Structure 1
C-alpha cells in the first residue's frame, strides 16, 4: 500500500501502515473509526513524519493508527484537542539549533503535556531531478530549520540561494513538480525516494550526529500519573523577578541528585521583562523520586507539570 504526499496547503489523513490518505472532508469519519491518531507538522518523508511513525508503532502497537499531516505546529496542537485519542509529535530541540521556541510557547498556552520522547537522527541531502548538475543549481528549497542546519553548503556554493519552504518533504515535492534542473531541495532520503528524485550531495548537515528530540503530546488531563524510574519530568516555572530565584530552584534540584537536561527561558508577554523557565530533569531511581516529590510540595512559585515520561532513545 502506498501513501501519497501531502499537497500544500491541504491537510490529509493516512495510516501508520501507509494506507490510503483521506481528505479533510473525511475527518469526522476518520476520527470515529481510528483507535488512535498522531498528528505531525510536515509531509510524508519528513523527520516529523518519522517521529510520528515511531510513536504510533511503539506506543499503540500494530493496531491501525491514523497519521495526521498538518501544515503548522498550531494545527498539531489543535488536532490533539479534537479527541482524547489524538496525540501530536512535535520537535522540541535540535543538537545544532537548540530549542524550538514556538513549541514551548504552545505547550504552555494550549495546556498540553508530553507523554513520550524520541531522538531522531537528522541527515540532510541536497536532492533534485535525475538530470540535475550540482554546478547548475541556483535555488535550494527547504524548511527554514533545515536551511539553517546546512549553512556550510551555501558558503561553499555561493551561487545557490536558500529559499524557505513550509516543509522539507514538501520541498522535495515542489522540485518534482517543477522538473527544473536549476532548483533543488534539502530533505531526507525517504523524501527523495518518495518523489523519484536523486541525491546530488548526501549528508550536507553542518554537524555530524545532528539529531532532533521529539515529544509526543496530548491533552493535559490525560497526562501520566506515574512512570517507573528512570523517567523524565518536564515543568514550567514562573519565577519572581528577584535575585536568586532561579538559583534557589536549581540548588534544590542538585540536592535531590537529579540530572538537569534542559533549562530555557521564554518571555511572558503579559509581564514585560518577566520570564517563564522550562526545565527537564531525569529521575534515575526511587530515592530521587521521593526527594523530588517531597520538594515539589514545598515549592512556592507558579509551577506547571508538562509531562512525566520514560527517558527517550536515539532511533
Structure 2
C-alpha cells in the first residue's frame, strides 16, 4: 500500500488532494505537523509519496516550500488542483443559533468572513489547522462551538455540516505537488511528462532574464509561472523558479540545454503530467 505524507492531520485538505490524485488506489496517510517535518522525515521507498501545497488562487504562493524542495532529495512527479470548500461543522443536533465560538485556521476564517458578518454574536478563534479544529470540537463534545473545515474532517470526527460552502469566493483553488525521493523514482513513468518545474540562478547583468525567456519562446515552451527567491549569501541576487508546459519533450530538453549554458546553476525539480484544472463551481 502507498504511504502518503501530508501536512496536517486526517481530514485536512492535503488528504483530500491525495485522494484525488491517487483515485481508487489504496493509500495510508502519514501526518506531519509542518512542511519541514514532511521534507525532513521522507522515506526513500517506491511506495512513499508526499503531498505539498505550493500555491492558492487567492492567497498566492507558499514561498518556503520552494527552498525546502530545492534543498531536498525529492522530485515533483505530479500535481493536483483542488477546489477549497469551507463548511461550518458542529456536533449533531446543534443549530447555527446555538454557536458562540467557531475555530479554524486564520486563512479559512478570512475566506469566510462575509458569511460570519451575518452572525456577529459568533466569536471567531484562530487555530493551527482546519481539520485539527474539527477534531477538537468532535473529540471533546463541545456544544455551542463549531469549526470551519472540509466535509472529510466532519466525517472523521462525527460532526454535522450546518452550512456547506461558506467561503466568500467560490473560485478558491490550491495547487499541490506530488513528490517522491529521487532514488525511488520509477524508471519508466506511466504518464508522459508535458510539464516541468525548473530553478536557476541567472547572471546578474542587464537583459539576462529576458534572453532566457526568449529562449523558451524560441523552443515553443509555455511559461505558466515564474517566481523569484533571494539567493542566500548574495544580497540582491535571485533564484528563479519557473513552470513550463510543452508538447514536444525533445524541444523542452533542447531548451534546458540552451538555458544551462547561460546560467550559473540550473536544477530540474521535476518532470510530470500537467494536472487537470477543469474543476468548476
Q: What is the TM-score with the length of structure 1 in the denominator?
A: 0.77
The answer for the alignment partner of 1:43 in structure 2 is: 9
Unaligned 5+ segments in structure 2 are none
**Structure 1 pair 146–104 and aligned structure 2 pair: CA distance change class (3 A):** farther
The answer for the alignment partner of 2:126 in structure 1 is: 164
The answer for the alignment partner of 1:184 in structure 2 is: 146
Is 1:300–2:263 an aligned residue pair? yes
Distance in 2, Cα, partners of 1:150 & 1:171: 15
Deviations 1:28-81 (A, max 9, x none): xxxxxxx542111122222111222344447xxx4x644212222122112324
The answer for the alignment partner of 1:310 in structure 2 is: 273
Distance in 2, Cα, partners of 1:92 & 1:155: 30
Q: Residues 1-315 of structure 1 correspond to what in structure 2 (within 5 A)?
A: 36-57=2-23, 62=25, 65-81=27-43, 83=45, 85-223=47-185, 231-286=194-249, 288-289=251-252, 291-314=254-277
Shift of 1:246: 2.5
Distance in 2, Cα, partners of 1:294 & 1:231: 17
Shift of 1:179: 2.9
- The higher relative CO (CA closer than 8 Å, separation ≥ 6) is in 2
**Structure 1 pair 226–99 and aligned structure 2 pair: CA distance change class (3 A):** farther
Shift of 1:88: 0.7
Distance in 2, Cα, partners of 1:156 & 1:109: 46
Shift of 1:155: 4.1
Shift of 1:171: 1.1
- Range with bigger deviation, 43-52 or 289-298: 289-298
Distance in 1, Cα, partners of 2:264 & 2:118: 50
**Structure 1 pair 181–269 and aligned structure 2 pair: CA distance change class (3 A):** farther
Shift of 1:90: 0.9
Q: What is the TM-score with the length of structure 2 in the denominator?
A: 0.85
Distance in 2, Cα, partners of 1:149 & 1:140: 14
Distance in 2, Cα, partners of 1:105 & 1:267: 10
Distance in 2, Cα, partners of 1:105 & 1:156: 41
Unaligned 5+ segments in structure 1 are 1-34
Aligned residues: 277
Contact between 1:235 and 1:303, CA under 8 Å: does it hold in 2? yes
Shift of 1:230: 5.6
Contact between 2:138 and 2:159, CA under 8 Å: does it hold in 1? yes
Shift of 1:111: 3.8
Contact between 2:10 and 2:29, CA under 8 Å: does it hold in 1? no
Distance in 2, Cα, partners of 1:105 & 1:162: 33
The answer for the alignment partner of 1:12 in structure 2 is: none
- Range with bigger deviation, 277-286 or 304-313: 277-286
**Structure 1 pair 126–280 and aligned structure 2 pair: CA distance change class (3 A):** same
